[in-house]
Amino acid sequence: MRHLWTPWRLEFIRGEKPQECIFCAKVTGSDDQEHIVVRGEHVYVTLNKYPYNNGHLLVVPYAHVPSVEDLDDATLLELMRITQTALRVLRAVMKPHGFNVGFNLGAEAGAGVREHVHLHIVPRWAADANFMTVLADTRTIPQLLEDTYRELKRHWPAS
């Protein structure tokens, strides 16, 4: 029998959740500790702590609002421009075959953090949903978050 060693997921499995909004709290920490790839004026880009796939990024407005229609025009524009840059960086660094890009608005739509809107960017590769996902209901992430963070941060264009 083989074991997948994922000790960073224990907090998630136990359901331990911080009292304050994770996205609001994240911006007070250091970029390296919080895996913040870039900070803009209205939004920031961070790695998903519990990624669906390697390189799973979140574009997060600083504004603590539940839905995209609550964002002002300046935030929406920067959100989309940074998303565009994120796609370019992920294409260059990770060579994905495609992407899932979108918002999960509301618990029924799969939002894990319903009170703070954020955009998911998930790189996809042919056969990335292999037998582990289908038979064992298990995802494999082939790179440590710290390594993915350093690589994406290094390739992010200077503003």
pTM: 0.82
Q: Pick from 15, 22, 3: which is nearest to 115 by CA?
A: 22
Assigned fold of 25-155: HIT family, subunit A (3.30.428)
Tens digits of pLDDT across the chain (159 residues): 555 667 767 766 676 666 789 999 999 999 999 999 999 999 999 999 888 888 999 999 999 999 999 999 999 999 999 999 999 999 999 999 999 999 999 888 877 888 999 999 999 988 776 555 554 555 666 677 888 999 999 999 987
DSSP string, 60-100: EESS--SSGGGS-HHHHHHHHHHHHHHHHHHHHHH--SEEE
Rounded distance between C-alpha atoms, residue 46 and residue 23, angstroms: 10
Q: For the chain, where are the E strands, in sequence order?
A: 36-39, 43-47, 57-61, 98-103, 119-124
Asked if residues 62 and 21 have their Cβ atoms less than 8 Å apart, the reply is no
- Tell me which residues are annotated as active site: 118
